[in-house]
Chains A and B, each alone.
Chain A
Amino acid sequence: MSSDHEHSHDHERDSHRSFRDVTSPSGLTTEKQGLLHRSRREFLRDLGISAFAFPLIAGLPSLGYCATPVAPRKRMIILFSPNGIVPKAYWPDQAGRDFTLKEIMKPLEPFKDKTLIVKGVCDKVQGDGDNHMRGMSCLLTGIELLPGNIQGGSHTPAGWASGLSIDQEIKGYLQSNDQTRTRFGSLEFGVNVPDKADPWTRMVYAGRNKPIAPIDDPYAMFEKLYGQVKDQAAVISILDSLQSDLKKVRSTLSTEDRVKLDEHEAFVRHMEHEFKAAKDQKLREPPLELEAGIREDNENMPKLSKMQIDLMVNSFVNDMARVATLQYTCSVGQARMSWLGVKESHHTLSHEPGTNDEAQNDLIKINTWYAEQMAYLAKKLADTPEPDGSGSMLDHTTIIWTNELGEGASHTLNDIPLTIVGGGLGWEMGRSLQLKSVTHNRLHMSIAHAFGHHVDHFGNPNFCGEGVLPELTTA
């Protein structure tokens, strides 16, 4: 910058001083004034926003990383992929600690000792809606759909679920306690979710008739997480130009009007002070730098998946939420995984019978790809230490990968795919469980209890009979 700028900077400092002496609304100390250093601001402007310590807008709860909590953190991620799996390539043949991961599950090999595969959990919810709809909208709610006007391939038309989902129940529990409250509580991620709202596209419910849409645009999610930080940085970056122009304009005004503009200028400085004062609140890690311009289309699905997972882990590091869901497409989702050499779309393939080897191979590839996404997420968490030194984030985060159907062709709601990786909920990991047709409401209850939330039922009480699943905690 030219010496002209240096010159104007001196003036600026002088006027800061007089401003403080005369009308300062903020009563800033000299030391803080010194922070308004021009070179710093230039630095910010020239490097863009991702490279500085992020000041945060004041007045929001728990923006930054909390002080070390009393109890260890517990987190949960629910990962959804649609249209059932290929049972023969998914379920281990053996039960117990000694088991072999099948083809689809191979990507999880590095985390085998932290993996729990649970066969035999069934969605027993009946009523309106076809199996895809009930599979999806009852998956996390465990309760019937309301009668409605949405017609599936069979059965009667249906509406939204009649109760909230387990992730929202856990969120509510965590948010009700000062020790576990975070800025968002929960974050709902999506990847390539079609732009329509019906019981096939929503699995998260804030309550009866209240579906929550996943955010499947990583840029929109970034805005949600860090938009304010970015906005603030943009404002700070124009302050020099604004203040120098205020001076220029001032010189053209009458004495009385100058008084007015001086008032105005004082408020501009006040804003600057406020923004800077908020800098004490720091994020533990800067926001992620997302690759720019990734359109939301089928071909970009791998990139979008990675971006969303990266954002999710980043948001956890900054303790913005303890619960997250990640929904790939939707029930009846039609991802066409050309990058795997699969030509047909997913749901269409899932209707092919088990005798169609080509289709089964494609379905295995598709599900293996989903397992890879889970493995990527698990690895990211495993590679990130907890801030209090209590191990890795994976040690305190449980990822539950599930599906709305047991198998695509039969549309069964029995043996719902359930692969759990991670830790923190007190479950015995490194096992294959083969249960005898237990209701999935009991899994919901087990999750709640693992968080210390001792519900006596969840969803439809008729399906909660024997309570939590003891098999999860005892070997």
Chain B
Amino acid sequence: MTSTRPLIKTMMRKPQLKAPVTSTRVWSGFFTAIVAMLCLLINSQSSLAQVDGKAVYTTHCASCHGEKGLGVEGKTANPLIGTLDVDALAQVIDETMPEDDPDKCNAEESKAVAKYVFEKFYSPQARNIDVTAKRELVHLTNTQYIATLADLLTPWPPSSTDWGTERGLKAHYAAKRKTGKNGEETQIDPNVDFDFKDQSPIKEPETHEEFRIRWDGCVLAEETGDYEFAVESENGFKLFVNNGEEPLIDGWVAEAGKKRELSGVIRLVGGRAYFLKLEMFKFKDPSASIALKWKPPFKAMHVIPNSNLSPKWCPSVFICQTKFPADDSVSGYRRGLTISNAWDSATTSAAIEAANYMWSNANKLADVKKEDDDAKRREKIHKLCRDFAGRCLRMKLEGELQQQYVDQFFENNAPLENAVKRTAILCLKSPRFLYPDITSTDDPGMKMATRLSLAIWDCYPDNRLRDRVGWGGLKTEQQVREVTLEMMKDPRAKTKFREFTHHWLTLDEKPFPSKSETLDKDFDSQAVSDLRTSLDMYVDQIVWGEQSDYRQLMTSAQYPVNARLAKIYGVQKEDIKAFEQLSLDEGARAGLLTHPYVMAAFAYQQESSPIHRGVFVTRRLINRELRSPPEANLFEDAHFDPDMTMREKVSQMTSAANCQTCHRIINPLGFTLENYDALGRFRANYDAKPVDAATTYVDDDGQEVAFKNARDLAQYIAQSPDAHGAFIDHLFHHTAKQPINSYGNDLREKLVLQFENDNFHIRRLWLEMIVRITMDNASQNTQEVAHVQ
């Protein structure tokens, strides 16, 4: 890689504000036309007189950048601020502005306008204005809402996330189909996928005609969403998930030994383990077999792997099944920004659902004992309601609020059912519950606990954290740091980071593009599912490994590969069983970027797509702004000369000047990935021609960077401060659900510096973010005081 710029250039930072972006598609063409006209007028005069920077700015720039460089809604989201000197700024303007045609303004005009901009608002000196972004009032996201409810209505929250180190399920084998008649043989089975044929699995059985097996333990869901469980067997079976009483799947009565696959769908919250029990019996069926499978979100149906099973017992957890409208992601990350009727209705339905669950499980939740009389039961349930309200409102409940939220419903010996349900519904509909920043307590510890718990686990503080606040164990930065480190070990933290990865790489939105069968008939939905697993494992191994090194994430040449993937991607190795860490294409690969899942996700059905890939790299990995295209052009392969390469086709298609504004950035980044086809397989040749992946990319500062291939690009991303900033922005926003600038002008800068000086350690970066978010004092209420003054 050749680059003329210094590797670490902390002085040069992109503008940091990420305001909501509205669609520009309709207007941009119109404005482009106007600017072009004005530009012609100016050009004809510029040589005649001393150029007036302000006039140039007003004519050429202000329509998009605003009178004071603050941006114009719908056109330019970022304010025109930065740290370049006047000459560098002039050069950038001359080469890139106006966006539709940089040639419309000459070097002299560019210099004049740069001087004007620099003095008026661009430079740090000129910028006495506060660029701190506003902290918006947001409600709980859907994930946060559902996860918090799960914690609120579970008798022992810790045990659903503490599922031990042993893997597999506890199996109980009995010789007879009826229980309680004979001794059982117990063992740990790695998973459930057995074909007993016409035999009994019991050692030396009296008969092979009958037997019974029960597997129990728990299952870990890594992501939040709908899980389809399935049992395939010709015998009688029942599957229980997160509910020991009602089976999710009941196939107890078999159908003449005919193999059946029965399934049931249940929503699960990621980062938690769920009670699981599978029972089967055989009686006189000619054969016996059983497989326990699932289809997690975005994946295919497959046997539940050993790594997601534990023989440990887990309590049932309340998982709200109400459907919520999707969270607002207009800011570039999901958060509870929009208040709509649909959302409000969903919170009502969910509150009713939770209230009914709370009432029907009140005895269990309140620990009512058989010997308790009615008065005692009432007392315990009243206390349960007070605790529940206190946890919803994140405070030690007392006085007026306690009266209003709980006690009023218990007055005059009101029926318990009404009291419990009303408490639950009022709490869950309360703005004090729905909006994390609306706090009802003066206790700073509790506020910190809320921010911490949401940042790392996306839920309100659990009993353990609340206890800690109670004894004053969450006050100092050191304490926050220690607690955060502890909480990072929890599967919920891993789930939150997993969700970040998917969102950052935009793998959480649309389904994987379908692929032409002619490419490889083995590339089916199972292969796609395995690829996604491979990507998840790849990220997990690096992020949660000792080095936790971002550069390794971006450049490693090895991926987890199983036998199915090995066949598709041409890995020559015998006897691959589970996923193994293997090198693809003799080290030609480079980290996340060239992981086959990513390459195939940003490609067409039959062909690579340099444009999709280029946009992905630009927007997600190096954080450059791209406007929506002035006109939508569909790529149609048939329009091109069949002898052309994909690179040639795309170059031709985007050659117009108004396309080049953006495509001069997009195309080189996409072309350098041309060694990977629509399935993400490596190719040295495109049809008969060798692939040309060498490109030159011009960065934000106008510096040219040459890439020979994908590895060069990956190296660039690993070392580019722009990319580091992008990574930090995405991770911070996913964690905090608020703009990074709202935590102070210099936080981003500091985090980038720390990251670069700390071996790009991802977990320590995240720790630092969470600590900063937790320790932040700029709550809604203090801001309000400032406003009033």
Which residues of A approach B to under 8 Å, CB–CB?
A: 25, 46, 48-49, 146-151, 156-157, 159-160, 197-199, 209, 223, 227, 231, 234-235, 237-238, 241-242, 244-246, 249, 252-257, 260-261, 263-264, 267-268, 270-271, 292
17 contacts between A and B (CB under 8 A): A146-B255, A147-B255, A148-B253, A149-B235, A150-B253, A159-B256, A197-B252, A223-B356, A227-B356, A235-B425, A241-B405, A245-B432, A249-B431, A254-B783, A260-B137, A267-B341, A271-B344
A148 near B256: Cβ-Cβ < 8 Å: yes
Evaluate whether A231 and B356 lie within 8 angstroms (CB atoms) in the complex, with A48-B415, A261-B431 already known: yes
Q: Which residue of A lies closest to B178 (CB)?
A: A151
- The CA-CA distance from A256 to B438 in the complex, in Å, is 14
B432 near A249: Cβ-Cβ < 8 Å: yes
Query: By DSSP majority rule, is chain A's interface helix, strand, loop, or mixed?
Result: helix
Residue of B255, B351, B414, B415 with most chain A CB atoms under a 10 A cut-off: B255
B283 at interface by CB-CB < 8 Å = yes
Residue of A209, A238, A267 with most chain B CB atoms under a 10 A cut-off: A238
B282 at interface by CB-CB < 8 Å = yes
Interface flags for B387-429 (1: CB within 8 Å of A; 0: not) read 0000000000000000011001000101101100110011001
A245 near B236: Cβ-Cβ < 8 Å: no
B607 at interface by CB-CB < 8 Å = no
Residue of A48, A227, A242 with most chain B CB atoms under a 10 A cut-off: A242
A149 near B352: Cβ-Cβ < 8 Å: no
Q: Which residues of A contact B254 (CB under 8 A)?
A: 148-149, 159
Q: Which residues of A contact B343 (CB under 8 A)?
A: 267
Q: Which of B256, B404, B418, B780 contacts A147 (CB 8 A)?
A: B256
B285 at interface by CB-CB < 8 Å = yes
- The CA-CA distance from A267 to B341 in the complex, in Å, is 6
**Distance from B733 Cβ to chain A, minimum over Cβ atoms (Å):** 19
Q: Which residues of B contact A48 (CB under 8 A)?
A: 414-415, 418
Q: Which of B284, B415, B426 contacts A238 (CB 8 A)?
A: B426
B355 at interface by CB-CB < 8 Å = yes
Q: Which residues of A contact B430 (CB under 8 A)?
A: 242, 245
Q: Which residue of B lies closest to A227 (CB)?
A: B356
**Distance from A39 Cβ to chain B, minimum over Cβ atoms (Å):** 17
- The CA-CA distance from A268 to B344 in the complex, in Å, is 7
Evaluate whether A234 and B253 lie within 8 angstroms (CB atoms) in the complex, with A252-B781, A264-B339 already known: no
A234 near B281: Cβ-Cβ < 8 Å: no
- The CA-CA distance from A48 to B418 in the complex, in Å, is 7
- The CA-CA distance from A357 to B415 in the complex, in Å, is 49
Q: Which of A25, A149, A238, A253 contacts B281 (CB 8 A)?
A: A149
- The CA-CA distance from A146 to B236 in the complex, in Å, is 14
Interface flags for B428-446 (1: CB within 8 Å of A; 0: not) read 0111101000100000000
Which residues of B approach A to under 8 Å, CB–CB?
A: 134, 137, 235-236, 250, 252-257, 281-285, 339-341, 343-345, 348, 351-352, 355-356, 404-405, 408, 412, 414-415, 417-418, 421-422, 425-426, 429-432, 434, 438, 780-781, 783-784, 787
- The CA-CA distance from A470 to B185 in the complex, in Å, is 61
Q: Which residue of B lies closest to A250 (CB)?
A: B431
Given A245-B404, A268-B344, 17 more A-B residue pairs with CB atoms under 8 Å apart are: A25-B341, A49-B418, A149-B281, A159-B255, A199-B253, A231-B356, A234-B421, A235-B429, A242-B426, A244-B404, A245-B430, A252-B784, A254-B783, A256-B137, A257-B780, A264-B339, A264-B434
Evaluate whether A257 and B137 lie within 8 angstroms (CB atoms) in the complex, with A151-B283, A159-B255 already known: yes
B282 near A149: Cβ-Cβ < 8 Å: yes
**Distance from A415 Cβ to chain B, minimum over Cβ atoms (Å):** 29
Residue of A25, A48, A235 with most chain B CB atoms under a 10 A cut-off: A235
B352 near A159: Cβ-Cβ < 8 Å: no
Evaluate whether A238 and B256 lie within 8 angstroms (CB atoms) in the complex, with A249-B438, A256-B134, A264-B431 already known: no
B281 near A245: Cβ-Cβ < 8 Å: no
Q: Which residue of A lies closest to B250 (CB)?
A: A197
**Distance from A156 Cβ to chain B, minimum over Cβ atoms (Å):** 8
A253 near B784: Cβ-Cβ < 8 Å: yes
Q: Which residues of B contact A156 (CB under 8 A)?
A: 284
Q: Which residue of B lies closest to A263 (CB)?
A: B339
Q: Which residue of A lies closest to B437 (CB)?
A: A257
Q: Which residues of B contact A242 (CB under 8 A)?
A: 426, 429-430
Top 4 nearest A-B pairs (CB, nearest first) are A147-B256, A267-B344, A149-B254, A257-B137
Q: Which residues of B contact A231 (CB under 8 A)?
A: 352, 355-356
- The CA-CA distance from A270 to B408 in the complex, in Å, is 25
Q: Which residues of B contact A263 (CB under 8 A)?
A: 339
B339 near A146: Cβ-Cβ < 8 Å: no
Q: Which residue of A lies closest to B426 (CB)?
A: A238
Evaluate whether A197 and B780 lie within 8 angstroms (CB atoms) in the complex, with A149-B281, A149-B282 already known: no
- The CA-CA distance from A223 to B352 in the complex, in Å, is 13
Evaluate whether A234 and B252 lie within 8 angstroms (CB atoms) in the complex, with A149-B281, A157-B284 already known: no
**Distance from B234 Cβ to chain A, minimum over Cβ atoms (Å):** 9
**Distance from A230 Cβ to chain B, minimum over Cβ atoms (Å):** 8
Q: Which of B236, B345, B787 contacts A149 (CB 8 A)?
A: B236
Q: Which residues of A contact B253 (CB under 8 A)?
A: 148-150, 159-160, 197-199
Q: Which residue of B lies closest to A267 (CB)?
A: B344
- The CA-CA distance from A271 to B339 in the complex, in Å, is 14
Q: Which residues of B contact A227 (CB under 8 A)?
A: 356
Q: Which residue of B lies closest to A213 (CB)?
A: B250
Q: Which of A238, A254, A260 contacts B339 (CB 8 A)?
A: A260
Q: Which residues of A contact B355 (CB under 8 A)?
A: 231, 234
Evaluate whether A148 and B431 lie within 8 angstroms (CB atoms) in the complex, with A231-B356, A253-B780, A263-B339 already known: no
**Distance from A272 Cβ to chain B, minimum over Cβ atoms (Å):** 11
Q: Which residues of B contact A197 (CB under 8 A)?
A: 250, 252-253
- The CA-CA distance from A218 to B545 in the complex, in Å, is 55
Q: Which of B282, B351, B422, B780 contacts A254 (CB 8 A)?
A: B780
Q: Which residues of B contact A223 (CB under 8 A)?
A: 356
**Distance from A446 Cβ to chain B, minimum over Cβ atoms (Å):** 30
**Distance from A200 Cβ to chain B, minimum over Cβ atoms (Å):** 11
Q: Which residues of B contact A253 (CB under 8 A)?
A: 137, 438, 780, 784
- The CA-CA distance from A238 to B341 in the complex, in Å, is 19
Q: Which residue of B lies closest to A219 (CB)?
A: B360
Q: Which residues of A contact B257 (CB under 8 A)?
A: 147, 149
Q: Which of A146, A149, A244, A292 contacts B285 (CB 8 A)?
A: A149
Q: Which residue of B lies closest to A49 (CB)?
A: B418
A148 near B137: Cβ-Cβ < 8 Å: no
- The CA-CA distance from A294 to B65 in the complex, in Å, is 72
- The CA-CA distance from A126 to B348 in the complex, in Å, is 53
Q: Which residue of B lies closest to A150 (CB)?
A: B253
B422 near A238: Cβ-Cβ < 8 Å: yes
Q: Which residues of B contact A148 (CB under 8 A)?
A: 253-256
**Distance from B138 Cβ to chain A, minimum over Cβ atoms (Å):** 9
- The CA-CA distance from A242 to B423 in the complex, in Å, is 11
**Distance from B255 Cβ to chain A, minimum over Cβ atoms (Å):** 5
Q: Which residues of B contact A146 (CB under 8 A)?
A: 255-256
**Distance from A229 Cβ to chain B, minimum over Cβ atoms (Å):** 12
Evaluate whether A255 and B787 lie within 8 angstroms (CB atoms) in the complex, with A149-B236, A149-B281, A263-B339 already known: yes
- The CA-CA distance from A157 to B412 in the complex, in Å, is 58
- The CA-CA distance from A227 to B417 in the complex, in Å, is 13
**Distance from B200 Cβ to chain A, minimum over Cβ atoms (Å):** 14
**Distance from B414 Cβ to chain A, minimum over Cβ atoms (Å):** 8
- The CA-CA distance from A260 to B422 in the complex, in Å, is 25
B255 near A271: Cβ-Cβ < 8 Å: no
Q: Which residue of B lies closest to A211 (CB)?
A: B253
- The CA-CA distance from A320 to B340 in the complex, in Å, is 33
Evaluate whether A271 and B345 lie within 8 angstroms (CB atoms) in the complex, with A149-B236, A159-B254, A159-B255 already known: yes
Evaluate whether A149 and B431 lie within 8 angstroms (CB atoms) in the complex, with A160-B253, A254-B784 already known: no
A246 near B431: Cβ-Cβ < 8 Å: yes
**Distance from B134 Cβ to chain A, minimum over Cβ atoms (Å):** 7
Q: Which residues of A contact B236 (CB under 8 A)?
A: 149-150
Q: Which of B235, B341, B784 contacts A270 (CB 8 A)?
A: B341
**Distance from B463 Cβ to chain A, minimum over Cβ atoms (Å):** 25
Q: Which residues of B contact A254 (CB under 8 A)?
A: 780, 783-784, 787
